[in-house]
């Protein structure tokens, strides 16, 4: 189980926002009540970032947005109501340069899609497409921020459980399954292929089944992003892409192009390497 180090600052002024610093990614998060929005420091928060508006009526409705000047945008939401929100979670980069507009556009799409996939939550007017004009290496870096932002929502008391839970370990009848005779079988996670270098972070994955075509991208954490949502298992990612309850993603996902090798080939290579290492 991985953990994320967070430094939380609780001000003595009860109207001032609570601040959480996510150390690993230099993200600063402000938790501010709508009634006390004017207490949000102007100098610190008139900067680019993403934000999530939370409701307190039990409806589970949230709004995900981005702005060049976060505090100013929240003030606009305060006067022009999109939904009856009571709290805001604002996120910025706590660095000299901060985020640029392309980066917050990409993060808005990723966070909106991830929140929409959570139990009991509905994104109101969220942008799920994201900004894909960024270089691939920047997208990889921003993908790692999304987990911290979801962690920030968890600190706000939101249930961040997925609507459809997934399992990292899969024994689905491919070349690495226990049914294959004459080999020692090792449980394989997709992240094992990425950490070993067999599949690279930033690599594009493709699948086609019938008339449905889809594309995914590989994160540095060893997950597959499909339609803005990251999945640990290839089969969960494939099922989401195809709109099915289940799919053998180890077979359907092709690496690099629609005619490239499937993931099961790389799983075989990982198993072979593991077997050689254990025999030494």
Q: For residues 268 and 265, what is the distance between their CA atoms, to the nearest angstrom? A: 5
Mark 154-179 as b/e (b = at least 16 C-beta within 10 Å).
Answer: eebebebeeeeeeebebebebebeee
Tell me what pLDDT residue 186 has. Answer: 52
pLDDT band (50, 70, 90) for residue 280: confident
Q: For residues 41 and 93, what is the distance between their CA atoms, to the nearest angstrom? A: 15
Tell me what pLDDT residue 276 has. Answer: 86
DSSP three-state, residue 249: helix
Strands 224-226 and 229-231: antiparallel
Q: Provide the mean pLDDT of the chain.
A: 88
Tell me what pLDDT residue 7 has. Answer: 95
pLDDT digits (tens, 9 = 90+) for 220-241: 999 999 999 999 999 999 999 9
166 neighbors 239 (Cβ within 8 angstroms): no
Domain map (residue ranges) of the chain? 6-155, 190-279
Q: Looking at the predicted structure, is the pLDDT value of residue 244 above 70? A: yes
Number of residues in the chain: 280
DSSP three-state, residue 91: strand
Q: How far from 68 is each of 36, 100, 234, 240, CA to CA, in Å?
A: 21, 8, 36, 32
Q: Looking at the predicted structure, is the pLDDT value of residue 170 above 80? A: no
3-state secondary structure string, 124-137? CCCCCCCCCCCCHH
60 neighbors 159 (Cβ within 8 angstroms): no
- The count of C-alpha atoms lying within 13 angstroms of the C-alpha of 245, restricted to the half-sphere facing its C-beta, is 0
pLDDT digits (tens, 9 = 90+) for 57-115: 889 999 999 999 999 999 999 987 778 999 999 999 999 889 999 999 999 999 999 99
Nearest to 103 by CA among 72, 68, 152, 76: 68
Q: What is the pTM of this model?
A: 0.88
């Amino acid at each position: 189980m991985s953990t994320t180090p967070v430094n939380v600052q609780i001000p003595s002024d009860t109207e001032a926002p609570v601040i959480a610093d996510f150390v690993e990614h230099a993200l600063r998060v402000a938790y501010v009540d709508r009634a006390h929005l004017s207490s949000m420091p102007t100098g610190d928060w008139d900067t680019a970032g993403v934000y999530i508006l939370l409701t307190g009526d039990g409806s589970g409705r949230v709004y995900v947005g981005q702005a060049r000047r976060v505090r100013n945008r929240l003030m606009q939401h305060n006067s022009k109501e999109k939904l009856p929100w009571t709290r805001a979670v604002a996120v910025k980069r706590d660095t000299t340069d901060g985020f640029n507009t392309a980066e917050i556009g990409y993060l808005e799409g990723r966070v909106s899609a991830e929140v929409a996939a959570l139990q009991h939550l509905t994104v109101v007017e969220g942008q799920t497409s994201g900004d894909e004009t960024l270089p691939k290496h920047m997208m990889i870096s921003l993908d790692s921020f999304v987990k911290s932002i979801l962690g920030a929502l968890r600190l706000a008391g939101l249930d961040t459980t997925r609507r459809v839970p997934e399992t990292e370990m899969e024994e689905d009848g491919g070349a690495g399954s226990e049914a294959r005779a004459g080999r020692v079988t090792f449980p394989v996670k997709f992240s094992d292929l990425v950490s070993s270098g067999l599949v690279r972070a930033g690599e594009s994955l493709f699948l086609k089944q019938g008339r449905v075509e889809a594309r995914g991208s590989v994160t540095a954490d060893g997950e597959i992003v499909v339609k803005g949502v990251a999945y640990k298992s290839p089969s969960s990612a494939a099922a989401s892409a195809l709109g099915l309850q289940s799919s053998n993603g180890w077979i359907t996902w092709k690496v690099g192009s629609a005619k490239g090798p499937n993931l099961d080939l790389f799983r075989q290579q990982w198993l072979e390497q593991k077997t050689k290492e254990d025999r030494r």
